[in-house]
Amino acid sequence: MGIQLPGQYPLWQYPESNTFMTSQDSRFIKACRKEQTDCTPVWFMRQAGRYMKAYRAIRKKYSLIDMFKNPDLVAEITLQPVKEFSIDAAIIFADILLPLEGMGIGIEFPQAGGPVIHNPVRKTADVESLRIVDPVADLDYVLEGLRLVRSEIDGKIPLIGFAGAPFTLASYAIEGGSSSNYLITKNFMYRNPDAWDLLMKKLSRAILAFLKAQVEAGAQVVQIFDSWVGCLSPEDYGHYVFPHMKKILNELRRENIPSINFGTGTAGLLPLLAESGGDIVGVDWRISLDQAWNFIRTGAGIQGNLDPVALMAPPDFFKQKAAEILDKAAGRPGHIFNLGHGILPSTPEDSVKALADYIHEYSATLNSQKST
Ligand code: CP3
């Protein structure tokens, strides 16, 4: 029997019968609702970025901050991977650090190296003086970008909005940039528990307002990036982070906004992290998918979990790795294929294309075996 292989068509040539009537029928949104899909949906964190030739061509002409703040460029860059690969969701081109600016924290993206914050939060008074972002006034360029993208892809593929989680944002705000051991962050957390609590509350309010504004502007699912939370012990996660995540994710659920709760290095935190909420929990590659599924007791689905470095190897290798992940998912509804973290800049574009096609192809075969 001929199975319709969605991976065979670039999106813009999708046969009429293959476009979704509404985004609610898309396999990505269905997976967020833990419904059966024709094949496993796939997208990639950092799918718009330096590994793409089309991105580098724009990047040559503009600074990163100018790109983030120009809604036409935001829309163009967001759509670059969508036009190139058979992926099941678009994610708005923005950065988790942008909301910090409106709170009074100056961020800079230097030409080389990670982002830098010149006035890091180090004292209680620094936390007290932080403003709460008004997403419409402060982050209008992200919202306008979402409106432009949504009008372009509506009925084709869904659009993901996102924000950093309070812990991961706090780690940048306190350290002043990236960190390897989160020494200043943890010290602040342990020594100033009240100021920490206030910081988490202020960040949570900003994040929630921003995510709701993104949904009003056209985002259909939101992902919360708690990329660095895996540096915490389960006890510290439970005490210093869990209540804030739970509040944000509960509120999203109350508003019927599907959410993905993503972190890395979270194998030891998974039961708690899942309990904090999220329709889907994102996992990296340091845990096997079936084991992760056993740790998650909330009925949430899972997004992940291929090592991004696998994409540097020949196609036969990463296809084998992807097949192992799909075999472990074993057709459970609610699996969204992704890498365990963002695509690395040196990844060959052809490999990303081959992987997306393969995910659709192989998972459709598994599904058809199941139904016969
Ligand atoms: O996924 C996507 O395609 C959407 C775009 C996106 C960016 N940043 C664009 C970006 C997303 C979802 C992010 C999230 C983000 N930003 C996170 C959480 C996810 C993760 O990777 O853990 C974090 C920690 C940041 C902070 C940040 N921004 C860092 C550490 C860096 C420098 C490191 C790097 O990869 O260059 C950035 C810059 C940044 N944000 C780039 C992009 C495409 C690099 C752009 C460039 O130099 O051209």
Q: Residue 241 gets which letter from DSSP?
A: I
327 is catalytic: no
Atom of ligand 1 nearest to the CA of 114: 32
pLDDT reported for residue 372: 59
Q: Is the pLDDT of residue 69 over 60?
A: yes
In 3D space, the residue among 270, 260, 241, 239 whose CA is nearest the CA of residue 166 turns out to be 241
Instruction: State the catalytic residue, choosing from 14, 33, 50, 307.
Output: 50
What is the per-residue DSSP string for 122-148? Answer: -SHHHHHTPPPP-HHHHSHHHHHHHHH
- State whether residue 344 is helix, strand or coil: coil
Structure tokens at 149: 């993208």
- Residue 358 near residue 7 (C-beta atoms within 8 A): yes
> Which residues have CB under 6 Å of ligand 1?
45-50, 59, 64, 91, 93, 95-97, 109, 114-115, 162, 178, 225, 227, 342
Each domain of the chain, given as residue ranges in start order, spans 23-371
Structure tokens at 280: 């889907």
Strand partners, 259: 222
Q: Convert the pLDDT of each residue in 340-364 to its tens digit.
A: 999 999 999 999 999 999 999 999 9
Reported confidence tier of residue 5, pLDDT bands at 50, 70, 90 = very low
Percentage above 90 pLDDT, the chain: 90
Q: Is the pLDDT of residue 76 over 50?
A: yes
In 3D space, the residue among 111, 257, 118 whose CA is nearest the CA of residue 175 turns out to be 118
pLDDT reported for residue 370: 76
Q: Is the pLDDT of residue 21 over 90?
A: no
> Averaged over 230-237, what is the pLDDT?
98
46 is catalytic: yes
Q: Convert the pLDDT of each residue in 157-202 to its tens digit.
A: 999 999 999 999 999 999 999 999 999 999 999 999 999 999 999 9
Query: Distance between CA atoms of 39 and 367, rounded to whole angstroms?
Result: 7
**33-62 burial by CB neighbour count: b if 16+ within 10 A, else e?**
eeeebbbbbbbbbbbbbebbebbeebeeee
Query: Distance between CA atoms of 66 and 103, rounded to whole angstroms?
Result: 19
pLDDT reported for residue 102: 96
Within 13 Å of residue 22, how many CA atoms lie on the same side as its CB? Answer: 2
Query: Distance between CA atoms of 26 and 8, rounded to whole angstroms?
Result: 17
Nearest residue (CA) to ligand 1, atom 2: 46
CA-CA-CA-CA torsion for 257, 262, 267, 271, nearest 10 degrees?
-20
Atom of ligand 1 nearest to the CA of 109: 38
With a CB cutoff of 8 Å and minimum separation 6, the contacts of 28 are 41, 43, 88, 89, 157, 158, 221, 336
3-state helix, strand, coil in the chain (%, to 5): 55, 10, 35
358 is catalytic: no
Nearest residue (CA) to ligand 1, atom 32: 114
In 3D space, the residue among 138, 148, 73, 144 whose CA is nearest the CA of residue 104 turns out to be 138
205 is catalytic: no
pLDDT reported for residue 112: 86
Structure tokens at 313: 């190897």
Reported confidence tier of residue 25, pLDDT bands at 50, 70, 90 = confident
Q: Is the pLDDT of residue 368 over 70?
A: yes
Q: Is the pLDDT of residue 61 over 90?
A: yes
pLDDT reported for residue 22: 57
Instruction: State the catalytic residue, choosing from 33, 38, 59, 236.
Output: 59
Nearest residue (CA) to ligand 1, atom 3: 46
Atom of ligand 1 nearest to the CA of 55: 48
- Residue 229 near residue 274 (C-beta atoms within 8 A): no
Q: Is the pLDDT of residue 135 over 60?
A: yes
> Averaged over 22-48, what is the pLDDT?
93
Reported confidence tier of residue 113, pLDDT bands at 50, 70, 90 = confident
pLDDT reported for residue 24: 66
Q: Residue 12 gets which letter from DSSP?
A: G
Q: Convert the pLDDT of each residue in 238-291 to its tens digit.
A: 999 999 999 999 999 999 999 999 999 999 999 999 999 999 999 999 999 999
CATH of 23-371, one of 3.30.470.20, 3.20.20.210, 3.30.1280.10, 1.10.260.40: 3.20.20.210
Q: Convert the pLDDT of each residue in 292-319 to its tens digit.
A: 999 999 999 999 999 999 999 999 999 9
172 is catalytic: yes
Query: Distance between CA atoms of 229 and 27, rounded to whole angstroms?
Result: 29
Of 3-17, 58-72, 271-285, 324-338, give the lowest mean pLDDT range.
Answer: 3-17
